[in-house]
Structure 1
Amino acid sequence: MKAIALDKYGSADDLRVTDLPEPKVAPDEVLIRVKAAGVNPVDWKLAAGGLDAIVGSGFPLIPGWDVAGVVERGGFDASEFAPGDEVYGYLRKDWAQNGTYAEQVSASVRMLAKKPASLSWEQAAGVPLAGLTALQSLRRIGVGRGDTVLIHAAAGGVGSFGVQIAVAAGARVIGTASERNHEFLRSLGAEPVTYGDGLAERVRELAPEGVDAVLDYVGGGIVDVSLPLLKQATGPGGLLRIASVADGEVADRGGHFVWVRPDAQGLTELTALADAGKLTVHVDRALPLDQAAEAWRLNQEGRTRGKIVLTV
């Protein structure tokens, strides 16, 4: 099969197009014919060796944890899906080597759900990691009807899902973004505010009494800016209602540090939201598989609205 791989830890310049054997399929796995693969910052961070302390890797290393595709066949204990089923998933395995930047990938049924019928292959491939990150972080701090939630990097891949899921749950959303993305945030149901000096004052103008919950999808000290804006009522587990996916020190400040988990049930919930018209996916760029290096360079710029995906 055709795949994008690295022979050692490296950068976008080290990605190569190669031919590799068809993946093996375990008893509880299915073999997927890949239609599209999502691109996430963790892909190039893993490839650079940045996650070596927590995620073991083998070579040649095929990057990619997000997939949308068609089931070709299953193992003898994978009755949840049949050949021809359209699926999508967040395929974070215990050992990183056989990822989704390929024509075929094997996946455990516990990482998959039926693809939303309302989404294209490219849109579906952009959902799993980012959508589950948003869903799990919102649930960690108990965001629901009547809450005012502040979402940082609200126009990005994770943030745009966070906005929509929170709105669907009945929350009021204030989202930080550059001015060029303000109209985009309004279209998702958020009230936009601009990054930079004076951010806290701008949020206070919209929410004089503060916000009920905060989601940090950007890092860079934003937790320190956000804590004074947070009403001090605690949430699940007795912790403050602030969660970050980018700043591990949030846990030392009484909040939640979130590392997204594969979750078939969560994907099924995202499918239901999408097919109910409550969740859409903005695909910033869709590039062919052999342009994975360019996709990484675009992703590293940190200016993406929505998602970048690879088509196979």
Structure 2
Amino acid sequence: MQAIVLEDFGTPERLLVRHDLSTPPAPGVGEVTVKVLATALNPIDNKVRTGSIANVIGASLPMVLGWDLAGEVIETGAGVTRVAVGDFVVAMSAQAATGIGTWAELVKLPEDLVTAAPVSTTVAEAASIPLAAVTALQAVDKLGPRNDRALLLVSGILGAVGRYVAELAALNGWEVVGLVRDISKVPPGYGFTTVDAACAPLFDAAVDTAGVTEIAQAVVDGGDIVSLVPTALPRVERGIRLHQSFVEENVRHLAEIVNLVDNKELSTRVHAVYPFSAVVDAVTAFEAGGQIGKTILVPDHIYYA
């Protein structure tokens, strides 16, 4: 079985493409085996790879990275009722906690992490969805009911999570403005008003996906900030409430996202697709930044340029 294996913490070159890994054991009760057709790169993968969060992760070396997958169910264990062999599915696996990574040809997962894939997307687009969109949904949920509040500032709106936060909040009735480092990088027709500096307190709430510690200065007295970056929390005063959001595996949330994608209420964006064998190039480019859309990895035998 082909898989991308991290054998030691460090640079992208520490990621080795191996073809000699054993296939997963047959799925047990409540488990499924998925043939991975596409998976995705996420910032958490870089943090795990470098060892910067080695003291808080549950996985141990050597390990397979990856949180997202789109693929086909090829085997089910006893008691599985929600999916069947042949189903096209998506899943999110909290690799840093569980050690179950998705950068492999075959992945065995609990059934309750797997849901039907969107029918309106490509395989690569489907693989781009799970972690980013579920993270965003759970963050937006922490804003609570909109009530009479209207104006929301979202940092990192050009990133996958920031984009989903903006789209989901807009669906909930918020007027969204994006905060970016360089406004010249915003593509034409991106769909949201953007600013490149935190301003006077105009916003009823903010969602910080990029670790902008000064974002609180743009929030009104008594407003709310949801932070997704625990290492760079905003400095709050004036009665501003700070909420931290940490993504959790939740197949109900993932299924809700899939439905919104198929209803054309959420978008998907893919920047580039690489074969597993080019993972060092993919990760190096991803770390360089400046990409709009997700970086996707696919097993070599199904990759086509």
The TM-score normalised by the length of structure 1 is 0.87
Secondary structure of the 1:187 match is coil
Instruction: Give the number of equivalent residue pairs.
Output: 291
Secondary structure of the 1:200 match is coil
Aligned to 1:244: 227
Secondary structure of the 1:250 match is coil
Secondary structure of the 1:56 match is coil
Aligned to 1:236: none
Q: Deviations over 1:87-120 (max 9, x none)?
A: 1111115754441111111111222221111111
Aligned to 1:81: 83
Tell whether 2:155 aligns with 1:163. Answer: no
CA distance in 1, matches of 2:145, 2:112: 26
Secondary structure of the 1:43 match is helix
Q: Deviations over 1:250-274 (max 9, x none)?
A: 3884412221111101111111110
* Aligned-partner residue type, residue 21 of structure 2: L
Q: Tell me if the contact between 1:58 and 1:95 (Cα under 8 Å) persists in the aligned partners.
A: no
Match of 2:272 among 259, 263, 285: 285
Relative distance call for 1:183 and 1:249 in structure 2 (3 A) is closer
> More helix per residue: 1 or 2?
1
Aligned to 1:92: 94
Q: Tell me if the contact between 2:93 and 2:100 (Cα under 8 Å) persists in the aligned partners.
A: no
Aligned to 1:182: 186
Tell whether 2:34 aligns with 1:36. Answer: no
Q: Tell me if the contact between 1:66 and 1:91 (Cα under 8 Å) persists in the aligned partners.
A: yes
Tell whether 2:19 aligns with 1:21. Answer: no
CA offset at residue 51 of structure 1?
2.4
Tell whether 2:204 aligns with 1:229. Answer: no
Q: Deviations over 1:166-195 (max 9, x none)?
A: 1222211100223244345x433x11112x
CA distance in 1, matches of 2:24, 2:146: 42
Aligned to 2:303: none
* Aligned-partner residue type, residue 187 of structure 1: Y
Relative distance call for 1:119 and 1:200 in structure 2 (3 A) is same
Tell whether 2:251 aligns with 1:264. Answer: yes
Unaligned 5+ runs, structure 1:
234-239
CA offset at residue 60 of structure 1?
2.7
Aligned to 1:125: 127
Aligned-CA RMSD value: 2.0
Relative distance call for 1:251 and 1:54 in structure 2 (3 A) is farther
Q: Tell me if the contact between 1:11 and 1:44 (Cα under 8 Å) persists in the aligned partners.
A: no
Q: Tell me if the contact between 1:243 and 1:250 (Cα under 8 Å) persists in the aligned partners.
A: no
Query: Matched residues, percent identical?
Result: 27
CA offset at residue 30 of structure 1?
0.7
Secondary structure of the 1:170 match is coil
Secondary structure of the 1:110 match is helix
CA offset at residue 148 of structure 1?
1.2
Which shows bigger deviation, 14-23 or 31-40?
A: 14-23
The TM-score normalised by the length of structure 2 is 0.88
Aligned to 2:261: 274
Structure 1 runs of 4+ with >6 Å offset: none
CA distance in 2, matches of 1:182, 1:17: 35
Q: Tell me if the contact between 2:59 and 2:95 (Cα under 8 Å) persists in the aligned partners.
A: no
Unaligned 5+ runs, structure 2:
300-305
* Aligned-partner residue type, residue 74 of structure 1: T
Q: Deviations over 1:43-91 (max 9, x none)?
A: 1211222222222223331110111111111111222110011111111
Relative distance call for 1:100 and 1:299 in structure 2 (3 A) is same
Aligned to 1:237: none
The correspondence of residues 52-71 of structure 1 with structure 2, limited to 5 A, is 52-71=54-73
* Aligned-partner residue type, residue 2 of structure 1: Q
Relative distance call for 1:182 and 1:252 in structure 2 (3 A) is closer
Q: Tell me if the contact between 1:251 and 1:257 (Cα under 8 Å) persists in the aligned partners.
A: no
* Aligned-partner residue type, residue 220 of structure 2: K
CA distance in 2, matches of 1:23, 1:251: 43
* Aligned-partner residue type, residue 212 of structure 1: D
